[in-house]
Structure 1
C-alpha cells in the first residue's frame, strides 16, 4: 500500500521541476552565471529521471537511494549561491531548487517515518540558511513547509502500514476460518457423532458404561470447542492470544462457557494467567461445590477491559470462610485466583452464601496490547 506514495513522490518531483524551470527561465537575466544556472538545472532534470526510476521499484527504493537523493539535492541547493546574487538571496529570492528540494524529505518520511523526515527537513533548512547567510521570511517559511510536509507524509505512512497489517490479518483470519469450517464439517460427520453415540448408549446401559459415556461427552465438548475456535489467531501479532481459545477446552458436561462472537485478544502472559485463574476457580467448584454442581463461565470485553465470571450452583459458603482458609494456610483462592489477577493489576470479587453457590468475578485490563508507533 506504500507504492502509491512512492509514485506520488515521482509526480511531485516532476511537477516541482516544472516550477523550477519556469523560475529559471524567468530570472536567468539576473543570474551572475546564467550558463552555470542552466547546467545545474540540467543536473536536476537528470536526477529527477533517476529518482523517479529508482523509487518506482521496491528493490531499488531504500536508504542508499534516499541518501543519494539528499546529496544531489543539497549540492544543487548550495550551488544556488554561485548563480544567484548574494543580495537577492538575503532579500528572499528563490533558490534554483525551490520546491524540488522537498523530494528527499518526502522519501525519508515514507521510508523511515516522521522522525527521519523531520531530521531531513531540518538539515535542508540549515543548508538554505547557509546559502542565504541570514534568517529571513523565505528561510523560515521554507523550513516550516518542509517540516509540515515530512511530518504529514510520515504520519500517513504510519497509518497506511497499520491499515495494511489489519487487512493482512483479516485475510489470514478469513482463510483460517474457512479451513476450520472445512475440518469441522469432516469431524462433525465422523468423530463427534461417534462420541455422541457412545455418550448416549453409555448413559442408557448404566454402570461402567455410564462412566465411559460421561468421558465421551466431555471429549465431545472439548473437540467441538477446538474445531470451533482453532489455534491462536495467525497474524494477531507477536505475543497476542485469543482468550476464548484458552477457555474453550475447559468446557465439559458440567461446565458451560459463553464468550463473545469476536476474538478477545490479550497479551500472551495476561491471557495465560487469566485462564489459569479460571481453571483454579473451576477446580474449586469440583472440590467444594458438591456432587452434581454445574459451573458457568461468562467472558465480557468492553473498552479494553476483560471480565470473566465463574458461577456455580453448588452448596456455597459462608462469607468468612475464605479468610479462615487463608489464616489456616490454605491459599488456593488467595494464590491461584486473587494472586494471579493482582499480579495483572486486576481485581477479583467473590460473592457467595450458604446454599446459593459461588460467583467469582475477575476483571483485568491488558496494557500489553498497545502497538508501537512509527
Structure 2
C-alpha cells in the first residue's frame, strides 16, 4: 500500500482494514459454500460473491491512496454493502435468514463502518454502523437478540475505531508541531551564532567607541546599546523586558516622531493601549517614516493621523513623495529587503491588525495601520 504522507499514524489502521476486508471476504465465501443448499436462489450467490470479491480488491487499491479517501469512495463502499444486504432476502430467502442462515455480507458488512470511522472519527463511524445495522435489521422478519447484539457490536466497533483514528490524527499533529518547534530552535541557534559573530560585535563596538563622545555620536552609542540588548534577547529566545506600565497613551509615542517634516494629528483625548501593543504599532509607524526618509529624501513632508472609533485604532502615514512603482514591494521582498514585509506588515499581523498601502506615481504614498482593540 502507498504511504500516506498526510496521515502517517493512520497507515497501520488502513492496512488493518485491508486485512480485515479480505479475511471477512474469505469467511463470506466459506459461509456461502456451506449454506448454499439452503438458499432460496443458489445461483444468485455467484454474482453476489463476484461483486463482493471485486469490490474488495478495488476498494483496497483505492483506499491505499490518500487522495481517493473522500466521499465518493466512502459512499460507494457503503452502497455496495447495502446492496448485498438488501439482496439477501431474495438470494438466501427470508425463511432461511429467520432460521439462522447468515446474510450475504456477514462480517464483511463491517468494512465500510471501519473505513468511515478511520476517515472521520467516532461520529462518522457511528453513522455508518447505524445505516448498515438498519439495513441488516430490514432483511429479517423480526429483531432478534442475535441481530441486536450484532448491531451493538458494530456500533461499538465504529465508535472505538473512530476514537483511535482521531487520537492518531491528534498525535501526529502534536508530533508535527514538536518537529517544527525543534527546527525553529535549531534555526534560531544557527542565526544566533552568525549574528553574534557579526552584527552584535559591531553594535558593541559602536557603543564602546562612541559612548564617551558628545552630541549625535553619544546618541548613536545609546541606540547601538539598546539594539544590541534587544537583538540578544531575540536570538536567544527570551521575551523582551516587560514595560512597567500596563497601558500607555499612544499619543505620547507618536509625538516622539514629530519633526519639522513630520506632522502629527491625534485626538484631544487619550488613546489608551496596552504598552506592548502601543510600542509595536509605534515601531511600525517609525518604519513607515524611515521608508519615507530613505526613499524620498529627508526633506519630504509626512503626516501622521491617529484616529480611534468604535474600539478600532487607525494610524495613517502619508507623504508627498514620488510614490511606489507597481510591483516594487514584491521585488524588494524577493531581494531580502523586508522593511515593509516585516517591520510594518509583520508587526501588525502579529497584533491581529491590517495594513493597507495606497500609492500612485507622483501622488505620494499612504500607509494605513488598523487594529481592533478589545477592552
TM-score normalized with structure 1 length: 0.60
Structure 1: where are the runs of 5+ without partners?
230-243, 252-256, 258-277, 288-328, 338-374
1:109-130 CA distance string (max 9 Å, x none): 1222222211111111111111
Q: 1:280 aligns with which of 233, 239, 245?
A: 245
Contact 2:116–2:125 (CA<8 Å) still a contact in 1? Answer: yes
Contact 1:32–1:82 (CA<8 Å) still a contact in 2? Answer: yes
1:252-275 CA distance string (max 9 Å, x none): xxxxx6xxxxxxxxxxxxxxxxxx
Correspondence 1:62 to 2:70: yes
Correspondence 1:16 to 2:24: yes
CA distance in 1, matches of 2:153, 2:101: 17
Written as runs of structure 1 = structure 2, the 5 A alignment for 1:1-374 is 1=8, 2-204=10-212, 209-229=217-237, 247-248=239-240, 251=241, 280-281=245-246
Moved more, 181-190 or 126-135: 181-190
CA distance in 1, matches of 2:23, 2:113: 16
1:86 CA drift (Å)? 2.1
1:281 CA drift (Å)? 3.6
Contact 1:66–1:107 (CA<8 Å) still a contact in 2? Answer: yes
Contact 1:92–1:137 (CA<8 Å) still a contact in 2? Answer: no
1:93 CA drift (Å)? 3.3
Change (3 A) 1:330 1:68: closer
SS of 2:236's equivalent?
Answer: helix
1:300-341 CA distance string (max 9 Å, x none): xxxxxxxxxxxxxxxxxxxxxxxxxxxxx9997xx859xxxx
Contact 2:248–2:274 (CA<8 Å) still a contact in 1? Answer: no
1:16 CA drift (Å)? 0.5
What is the aligned-residue RMSD (CA, Å)? 2.8
Count, aligned residues: 250
CA distance in 2, matches of 1:10, 1:189: 57
1:214 CA drift (Å)? 2.9
Moved more, 6-15 or 172-181: 172-181
CA distance in 2, matches of 1:16, 1:330: 74
CA distance in 1, matches of 2:188, 2:53: 56
1:59-83 CA distance string (max 9 Å, x none): 3222111111111111111111112
CA distance in 2, matches of 1:40, 1:197: 85
Change (3 A) 1:157 1:207: same
CA distance in 1, matches of 2:131, 2:218: 80
1:211 CA drift (Å)? 4.5
Contact 2:247–2:274 (CA<8 Å) still a contact in 1? Answer: no
Structure 2: where are the runs of 5+ without partners?
1-7, 253-268, 276-375
CA distance in 2, matches of 1:336, 1:43: 68
